Structure 1
């Protein structure tokens, strides 16, 4: 059962042009609109149509962040991967302030990467809620993870300049706070992943962070996957590296070769935008290739999932109780892969070891183990009880009250 606040409110959501940051929020926004709230969603133009489909009003702004079309632009060093967010925040803040001038919201929702949203919420004197599409900080996170990771950066010339610029920008906006805490320690947070995916979940502050789990909603607009006649009676494995780090023809060939001599298996291979199908060579008859697939629809029918372990894919695999082979590519995916393996529902296979024999063995052993199936089903039930979209909307309305 859903609840409704005393009056319809104006809610502003802020995010960046990245599927992994926009998609998790969409069903929450759709639900808030359905409850009668007016939602303005600040987003670069490339995602405006997707946002508009929820009933929210897109508020377009110009972003300088690299997009999913150019993953190599993020570089390989930590400073190259965090600096663009500060650069973008500094140039976007005046745009966003102007866009909402005279129409300030009653509450701000924001992705974890949207620094201007936090500044504006404080300027406007309204509550701000982070919608986190991935893991959050636990008690002791700074000492155990952040300090070892960021200490060399803070000691470097480029790192010192970055932190000085960040502190100066915050000070200009009346905020006296350490940049890392500003980014990583929100006042209030709804975590859009299942609690099972969160490391040290028992040490996460429940007064700040609430795990609402997967907010998946109706995916019919993404289409449906029809099992080919030749695949009837066969087991199905889905292979997907998401939307960004997909220029991996050798990996896709390995996945096809892993099942080349297994006639009882059918492979659905999603290769994304950056791999030419011709690079895959001669594929066996039990492999179908697509640039994009309705992932959740396939997972509801699949027996195994070879995934990059992005937050979205992980929770879809868990929500459908599908055993996973996690082959992480970047950022939080390595940690996600370890968590899945620790849960007993997946194998973590480093990319350098992801040859055909290793992938085949991992899938066959996972799908033959009844304990893996039992653990996956138990997690699926736990996730279903977390509340998802309706609970997230209830908690937003509680802040309005």
Structure 2
């Protein structure tokens, strides 16, 4: 679609609703910026912890209080790693957030709502106010066989209780939603390439696989390598990253090598706790990951989908060290597609870490597959296709 056509569409009010977590907010920031660039007014429901990122993208923050981990009102310090606990937590969050959004937006209703796969308040609000909606999924979407891959096939009393609780909540809100609408939305923008989705050729056309929609993220700052040595990036993400023993094994494995290593240990660890760093290491609590990956030739990652997509977007082969939840399915997919290798962070030895690095940086099959996946990402449409899809909802 040409820029002229973009300009002829009416200026709309678009609401983004997400949960306060980097892996859910970051994948959509580029889309926010693109819609703002096209002349739309974008509001973004968020917490104090993410207002800087939201403002930098050009959106107007709509602040709410949350009970999720990492926020000032958190009811637990860590994200749950089992399905039922997570689903209960997200419903409690919905119950808390929805009335806040209703009050904040009562006199400024959006024309379209873009809601994260876990931001059920956005889904319910759209249904209540009869506003067009589209889900933004930073991970796998429903496809035949996906439940087997994710280990979610067995029906239990706990699952039935959770489904019933959601259905009661939806009924109490006076909306015609059911638990199934969470997993199978009317329509969705998916920020992974179809080739990375399990059974991607069987996913319905209402799911638009646009690939990662990455922006410059100027608010994160820059980074440049100190010399011309190859760069290894190590990060276990923003959750499930309290792994001091693993980081020490990385220091032993890669210390003294003829390469530069950037290690991100998370906000909860003081780098000094790991002891004296080898000369070729720099250790931080947080890094501008996308910028650092643009200089890397290997990425040792927890295999969170956001990090995986950032690495593949930059054409970087992966060493997956999954920690929790869907990260194990992501790591398996990385190996299936020969985009890298998988290690067990709990037991992997320094020698095995060095072997993994040698494998991903020297294997021509891995290199070729990473290049092909990077090309598929480039051809998936990205920001332009995603923004066109959101704008198409304004035409009805």
Report the TM-score range of the alignment, normalised by the length of the smaller protein. Answer: over 0.9
How many residue pairs end up in the alignment?
390
Q: Residues 203-242 of structure 1: matches in 2 within 5 Å?
A: 203-206=202-205, 208-228=206-226, 232-242=227-237
Instruction: Report deviation, 1:364.
Output: 0.7
Contact 1:217–1:389 under 8 Å retained in 2: no
Q: CA deviation at 1:148?
A: 2.0
Instruction: Determine if the alignment matches structure 1 residue 65 to structure 2 residue 68.
Output: yes
- Provide the C-alpha distance between the structure 2 equivalents of 1:142 and 1:304, rounded to a whole number of angstroms: 31
The corresponding residue for 2:241 is 246
Unaligned runs of 5+ in 2: none
2:23 aligned residue (20, 28, 31)? 20
- Does residue 35 of structure 2 align to residue 35 of structure 1? no
Alignment partners' CA distance in 2, 1:184 and 1:324: 28
Q: Return the offset for 1:80.
A: 2.2
Give the stretch that moved more between structures: 40-49 or 217-226.
217-226
Residues 107-146 of structure 1 aligned to structure 2 (within 5 Å):
107-141=112-146
Is 1:393 matched up with 2:393? no
Matched, 1:267 2:261: yes
Give the superposition deviation at 1:288: 1.4
Whether the 8 Å contact between 2:322 and 2:331 is mirrored in structure 1 is yes
Contact 2:312 2:374 in 1 (8 A): yes
Secondary structure of 1:11's counterpart equals strand
Question: How far does the alpha carbon of each residue in 1:136-176 deviate from its partner, in whole angstroms, 9 at most, with x for none?
Answer: 11134457757525x13xx14xx554333321111122335
TM-score normalised according to structure 2 size:
0.92
SS, match of residue 289 in structure 1 = strand
- Where in structure 1 are there 5+ consecutive unaligned residues? none
The TM-score with structure 1 as length reference comes to 0.91
Task: Give the corresponding residue for 2:325.
Answer: 331
Runs of 4+ in 1 over 6 A off after TM superposition: 68-71
- Distance, in Å, in 1 between the alignment partners of 2:153 and 2:330 is 19
CA distance in 2, matches of 1:372, 1:144: 23
Are the aligned partners of 2:146 and 2:198 in contact in 1 as well (CA < 8 Å)? no
Superposed displacement of residue 250, structure 1: 0.9
**1:56 counterpart residue number:** 59
1:186 maps onto 2:197 in alignment: no
Q: Is the Cα contact below 8 Å between 2:318 and 2:341 reproduced in 1?
A: yes
Offset, 1:84 = 1.1
